[in-house]
Chain A
Amino acid sequence: MLSAQDLLPLLHGYQMESRRLRDGITEIPTPDTLTIPLPGAEESYTRLAGEGAEVAKGQVLSAPKYAALAHAPAAGFVEAVEFREIPSCGQVWTARLRVEGSQAVQARPVRGETEAERVLRAAADAGIVDEMTGRPLYQELYRLRRREVSLLLACGIEDDPWCSSACAVLREQGEQVLEGLRLAAAFCGAKETGLAVSPPELRALRGSLPAARIERAPARYPARAFLLRRLRAAGTAAGLLGPQALAALAAAMQGEPQTHGVVTVFGDGVRTPRNLRFPCGAPLSSLLASCGVREEASLFYVGPACQGHTVTDPDTPIPLHARCITVLLHPQKRRRMTCIGCGRCASVCPQGILPWQIHESLHREKVDPFLLLNVQSCIGCAACTAVCPSGLPLSAEVARAAAIRKSGDFF
């Protein structure tokens, strides 16, 4: 089994029990240029600020139908609106903002008849993104309400042993997170609220937030999936939401949009690892500047170790829900060999998928969709790819199989 303890020697030689950051969050100065991703704003009428437009801090830049709103993190004027690649967002429209001036949109408390209406309006209007899933918070709230959760947890679980942004938010903005949690629970109809934390962080958080119910996450990767499964087995339908999104929800009730995110910058290529609060769309170089990158660094990636994206351009904008940026000196290249049938992929899968069988089925002359069992339930944790001794991209293949099943055009 790929437990967290097993994961430690896997993760580039870090001994994370001793090196996990316990610092607070440092705010970086606003860079001169911000490239704000406008996800879901493919139609031109959803992009509200065109080239050359002057915008105030907190002004809405895009209002897409099925994605989160984007707000300007600072005042300035829009230099360009262009289509480009953003890590963990894919190819999206972006607005390049030259920061100058100090006008700001005046924040007004959210109005509404019932609290549920106010919560939903706040989550949607403030453009809050749940950093654990990368989806808009209002959609997550709808999903949790549909699933009739009875326990709503603020997720302080870090699957990467060195990432600490969620725990830093829980420590620094604990009261705000709990307020956001109360609001979200009121919307979803959850009777209980609490925190979900990995074992190493348990004691520290119990000290700082003594009133909250704390769920201990299992030590096996992916911890979030196994925690939900354990709670479900005990008869509790539980839901997880990111602490940054919950803190932003509490602020959004006063009309504050979510324009800043928290990210952990770590890795053996960084001199001083830090938790940083950054404006949405800040270039990677501005985040790395305060941490000191070594000259020999050869790999940057944004996001968790199992699902992250490599970045080669220091000007790449970082989206709100990035959570961690890792800089490595000596990445290991994976040599691909044929599947030898060791079955490790199936033994680590939290959803009971047989990735080796999907791999085999996809490499047949004709794909039999009825042999692609269970693929829709994949949560994309990539534990199968991580343990495969032959270096096969199994999680990508399961995703492809799920797409084939979903498309329905196999006859």
Chain B
Amino acid sequence: MKLHTLSAPFLRRERTTVSMMGDALAALAALLILPTVYFGPRVLVMALVSMTACAAFDILACLIFRHTFGSGDPSALVTGLTIALLLPVNAPYWLPVLAGAFAILVVKMPLGSTGNNLFNPAAAGMAFVTVCQPDLVFLYANPTAGWLDLSNDITAVLGSTPGSALLEGLKPSLVPRDLLWGVYAGPMGCTAALVIGAGALLLLARRTIRWEPLAFFLLTTALLAALFPRIYCPALTSVKYELLTGSLLFCGVFLLGDPVTSPRTMTGRCIFGVLAGALLMGMRHAGAYEQTACFAVLIANAFSPVLDRAVITMRRKGVRLP
């Protein structure tokens, strides 16, 4: 009889960090299905290239910063898949590699790898390539024009995105069914609102993400879209287009929901959601780019330790906060 010595509690953990990241990977992988139907196998190749690059950079960074690797931490895969889903399907293959390199080697690892990063690596990687190559990042293929070939040439039939139309003050001409199923030009994984919603429900039910940032983010953006529409239309139409086009919903679920870079107190998370929503809508009104969610997430991330600290200080002074 071989006896073990373990320390209490002697309980089976049903949720581990790895299983939480597995949930996120599953929800993200579900977003690959519809683009694959519209654009063909290039979608899967893009995702694979991005994930492989991020995993490779993760191992490289572990060697550089002398961390131990191989502990089964799949966060680099989540980063890779998120980057792939935020890029257009017809982007050159080196673009996700560049974004992944910045995300892992500059943003994640120098701050002490998983659990210690201040900024969401995927959002930072996307922001980097958006600033470096805006013409490639905002060049979207049309999903109704058939499958793309696997080569790197940009021969795709390009489509005009509702995001750019809104930026120019024009009303996008889309039927609601196309909006929900993602049959319009846009970032690879950010168009199918229904699938993103289903993924969000899965993550919320499994308690991998918290409801507060997402709810307050959507509430703020909807309110601002209704009060200050960018196009001449009824308030609800403005809300529909602002919420369902672009990467807003995707970023709200997968980037703001990231527990590492969002505040850990409930009050902090609520303020964080409001802040990100207000920043995003401000950038949409005043900014030059059509997709600004990553920038809003990054700025809000910088505030999350401050928000936590403020909430804890208030608690110390006897103010009852959740």
B312 touches A310 (CB 8 A): no
Q: Tell me the count of chain B residues lying within 8 A, CB to CB, of chain A.
A: 39
Partner of B8, one of A300, A308, A332, A338: A308
A332 touches B260 (CB 8 A): no
Q: How many Å from the CB of B16 to the closest CB on chain A?
A: 5
A9 touches B114 (CB 8 A): no
Partner of B114, one of A332, A340, A386: A340
Partner of A298, one of B4, B15, B262: B4
Please provide the chain B residues from 1 to 41 with a CB less than 8 Å away from any CB of chain A in the complex. 1-20
Q: Tell me the count of chain A residues lying within 8 A, CB to CB, of chain B.
A: 53
User: Which among A300, A340, A346, A370 has the highest number of chain B CB atoms within 10 Å?
Assistant: A340
B13 touches A391 (CB 8 A): yes
A306 touches B260 (CB 8 A): no
Please provide the chain A residues from 213 to 264 with a CB less than 8 Å away from any CB of chain B in the complex. none
B259 touches A343 (CB 8 A): yes
Please provide the chain B residues from 258 to 287 with a CB less than 8 Å away from any CB of chain A in the complex. 259-260, 262, 264-266
Does A202 sit at the interface, judged by CB under 8 A? no
Query: Once bound together, how far apart are the Cα atoms of A303 and B9, in whole Å?
Result: 10
Known: A297-B1, A305-B8, A371-B312. A334 touches B259 (CB 8 A): no
A389 touches B115 (CB 8 A): no
Contacts of A10 on B, CB cut-off 8 Å? 11-14
Query: Once bound together, how far apart are the Cα atoms of A176 and B265, in whole Å?
Result: 48
Please provide the chain A residues from 278 to 329 with a CB less than 8 Å away from any CB of chain B in the complex. 295-301, 303, 305-312, 326, 328
A295 touches B1 (CB 8 A): yes
User: Which among B4, B266, B316 has the highest number of chain A CB atoms within 10 Å?
Assistant: B4
Known: A299-B3, A337-B71, A341-B259. A309 touches B16 (CB 8 A): no
Q: How many Å from the CB of B273 to the closest CB on chain A?
A: 15
Contacts of A328 on B, CB cut-off 8 Å? 10
Contacts of A356 on B, CB cut-off 8 Å? 264
B116 nearest CB neighbor, chain A only: A338
Does B149 sit at the interface, judged by CB under 8 A? no
A299 nearest CB neighbor, chain B only: B4
Q: How many Å from the CB of B103 to the closest CB on chain A?
A: 17
Contacts of A408 on B, CB cut-off 8 Å? none
B260 touches A340 (CB 8 A): yes
Does A35 sit at the interface, judged by CB under 8 A? no
List 15 other contacts, CB 8 Å, given A296-B1, A312-B4.
A9-B12, A306-B9, A310-B10, A312-B3, A331-B6, A334-B13, A335-B72, A338-B116, A343-B264, A344-B15, A354-B264, A357-B312, A370-B316, A386-B13, A388-B13
13 contacts between A and B (CB under 8 A): A12-B10, A296-B1, A301-B8, A305-B8, A305-B10, A309-B8, A331-B6, A335-B16, A337-B18, A341-B115, A342-B20, A357-B308, A370-B316
Closest A-B pairs by Cβ, 9 of them = A338-B115, A306-B9, A312-B3, A386-B9, A10-B11, A342-B259, A341-B264, A341-B259, A389-B15
